[in-house]
Amino acid sequence: MSTRLSQKQIGKRVLDKRKQKGLSQEELAQFLKIPRSSLAQIELGNRSLSAIELITLSKVLGFSLDQFVAKESHEAEEISLVNEPDGVKSYTRISTPQLNIKKLSNVVLYILEQCAGKPNVGETVLYKLLYFSDFNYYEIYEEHLSGSEYRKLPYGPVPQKFDSIIGEMIIKKQIMRFITEYHGYPQTRYIPLKKADLKIFNAAEKEVVDQVIERFSDWSASVISDYSHRDMPWRATKEGDIIDYELSFYREPPFSARTYFDEPLEL
């Protein structure tokens, strides 16, 4: 029986140790002096580590090389720490989303301000615009925008607790919901009754939402749903499960928010 670790096992251990250390892919890639996309390929098991890179990882992530490469070492066990090099952070990055209802409500209002007049923008398209806003922002800045969780359901990623939040917005007369017909099918639509509070957004948040609106808001429900089904976070999630924001780091063009504006559009 082989005592050597496979590339996928090594990649999984790198991922586990990076998360334990609280480092983003971007931060760890800077220590290794490689692109973030190369680190993503290492963690996926699609790229091997050089000896120098492995030594650097042991110093940055604080593990013993002997234990790290040992076949019998359990993936989730704690590895003996060595002294931290200068410049390595000791905090733990929070990857679990925390729903910010005020932020999500204002993202909804802002999207509707820009898009409610478009005949294609019913509830399905609105779901996808929210999904891409949240996941693109997380991929770029490694922080949550609205903190909404999305579940993998047959028609695409669906924001959780959305019905109760929309219901509250209707009661407060912030939006109005109505049913219409679009291409022979019933369509749930929303129109804003007040303007979004733009002071709640920083410049980067608004920019990402604007980019998503510009790119996707003219797409039909079927086209944007099909596109979301080919996005890595969706593909890597089991039916009915919550989609992990961390999966956005494994996107490739044209889905990656860091690169797709320079790539040919794929439909």
Whole-model pTM over 0.75: no
> Cα(52)–Cα(54) distance, rounded to whole angstroms?
5
CATH of 1-93, one of 3.40.50.300, 1.10.260.40, 1.20.1050.140, 1.10.10.60: 1.10.260.40
Give me Rg for the CA atoms of the chain.
Answer: 21
Tokens 């980019």 — which residue? Answer: 211
What's the pLDDT score for residue 154?
83
CB 159 within 8 A of CB 149: yes
What's the pLDDT score for residue 96?
74
What's the pLDDT score for residue 64?
78
What's the pLDDT score for residue 46?
85
Q: What is the DSSP string of 109-166?
A: HHHHHHHTTSTT-SHHHHHHHHHHHHHHHHHHHSS-SS---EEEETTEEEETTHHHHH
Q: What is the token pair recorded at 27?
A: 């931060």
> Burial, 180: exposed, middle or buried (Cβ in 10 Å; 0-12, 13-18, 19+)?
exposed
What's the pLDDT score for residue 3?
55
In sequence order, which residues have a C-beta less than 8 Å from that of residue 21 and are 6 or more positions away?
60, 61, 62, 88, 89
> Cα(44)–Cα(8) distance, rounded to whole angstroms?
6
pLDDT (tens, 9 = 90+) of the chain, 267 residues, equals: 445 678 888 888 888 888 888 888 888 988 888 888 888 888 888 888 887 888 888 888 888 777 776 655 544 444 333 344 444 444 444 457 889 999 999 999 999 999 999 999 999 999 999 999 999 999 988 899 999 999 998 877 889 889 999 999 999 999 999 999 998 889 999 999 999 999 999 999 999 999 999 999 999 999 999 999 999 999 989 999 999 998 888 888 899 987 543 333 444
The helix/strand/coil state of 6 is coil
> Cα(23)–Cα(90) distance, rounded to whole angstroms?
9
Taking the domains of the chain in order of start, what are their residue ranges? 1-93, 101-262
Phi and psi at 154, nearest 5°, equal -50, -35
